[in-house]
């Protein structure tokens, strides 16, 4: 979603009463892509599969109410910037305060006034698109168009703490293009820049939505922050990434690994923080595994997993 295609925005409506979903749907269906959930837990499951641009949520729902849903989203770095608008029939100031304290961006009272709902949604989507555009300038690497080191440094600690608190798998993968200095010396820096762009694109397209992000760590090094991925799936993804880079068929006459540009990687996954108290400890270990891959001949992945029951 950008400022120029707000009509492509994904709106998630969360309410346990179908009639309320129906009303909101008809107020917005001509303008946005609408999705629906009948509970807070169903909404969370939806967010893990595809990220909505805005959420409209009832306050009073069984199992997980709207306030709990909003708090859960705002406490997760992956979803904290999604605007949440409560649609509620509350009348007292204490109810309003509860919504704000849960992290709400706005609220609309029932019965729904369709023009009011549409304009509130439009306003918050516009603000989010503007914010996203600014973040692109601040957090994207100008060459490869993936996240930069600054974004990694500002987000990785919070993601790590969140995963450890919820006992969700967390991983760090360090990638390095094999003999890239020799590549630059042999072909020149302009060709080297094009190589970096192609490799970053090949890796990034194989990272599933909501399974973390790829950032340029420095020079020819990339780092993948891995979220909620099993050991078997991560290994399969890493094999696919290595193959995808090789399949680019970027000639590398200065390499001893073969005819084409190749990757080495070090990967570490953990399920709790008993052994790794700081994110720097994980980065150090993933980097050590990367150098182990290089020492063993490059064009390979060294993998480790630490699960303390």
Residues with catalytic roles: 220
72 preceded by a cis bond (ω within 30 of 0): no
> Contact 198/250 with Cβ under 8 angstroms?
yes
Structure token digits, residue 12: 């998630």
Please spell the DSSP secondary structure of 119-177, one letter per residue.
Answer: HHHHHHHHHHHHHHHHHHHHHB-TTT-SB-HHHHHHHHHHHHHHHHHTT--EEEEEEEE
111 preceded by a cis bond (ω within 30 of 0): yes
Query: What are the residue ranges of helices labelled H in 228-278?
Result: 231-246
> Contact 303/174 with Cβ under 8 angstroms?
no
Q: Is 197 exposed, middle or buried (0-12, 13-18, 19+ CB in 10 A)?
A: middle
Structure token digits, residue 44: 């969370």
Structure token digits, residue 252: 């590398």
Q: What is the largest CA-CA distance in the chain?
A: 73
């Amino acid at each position: 979603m950008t400022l120029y295609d707000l009509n492509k925005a994904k709106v998630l409506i969360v309410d346990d009463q179908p009639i309320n979903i129906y009303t909101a749907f008809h107020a917005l269906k001509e303008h946005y892509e609408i999705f629906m959930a009948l509970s807070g837990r169903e909404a969370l499951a939806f967010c893990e599969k595809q990220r909505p641009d805005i959420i409209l949520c009832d306050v009073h729902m069984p199992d997980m109410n709207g306030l709990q849903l909003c708090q859960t989203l705002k406490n997760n770095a992956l979803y904290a910037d999604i605007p949440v608008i409560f649609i509620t029939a509350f009348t007292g100031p204490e109810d309003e305060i509860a919504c704000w304290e849960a992290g709400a961006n706005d609220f609309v009272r029932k019965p729904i006034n369709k023009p009011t709902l549409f304009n509130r949604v439009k306003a918050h989507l516009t603000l989010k698109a503007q914010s996203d555009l600014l973040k692109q300038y601040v957090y994207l690497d100008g060459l490869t168009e993936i996240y930069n080191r600054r974004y990694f440094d500002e987000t990785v600690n919070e993601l790590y703490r969140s995963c450890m608190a919820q006992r969700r798998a967390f991983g760090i993968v360090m990638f390095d293009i094999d003999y890239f200095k020799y590549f630059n010396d042999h072909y020149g820096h302009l060709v080297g820049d094009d190589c970096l762009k192609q490799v970053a694109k090949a890796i990034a397209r194989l990272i599933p939505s909501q399974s973390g992000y790829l950032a340029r760590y420095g020079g020819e090094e990339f780092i993948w922050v891995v979220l909620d991925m099993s050991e078997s799936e991560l290994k399969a993804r890493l094999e696919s990434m290595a193959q995808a880079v090789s399949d680019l068929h970027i000639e590398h006459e200065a390499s001893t690994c073969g005819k084409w540009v190749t990757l080495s990687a070090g990967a570490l996954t953990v399920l709790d923080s008993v052994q790794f108290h700081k994110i720097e400890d994980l980065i150090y270990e993933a980097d050590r595994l990367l150098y182990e891959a290089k020492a063993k001949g490059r064009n390979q992945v060294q993998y480790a997993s630490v699960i303390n029951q």
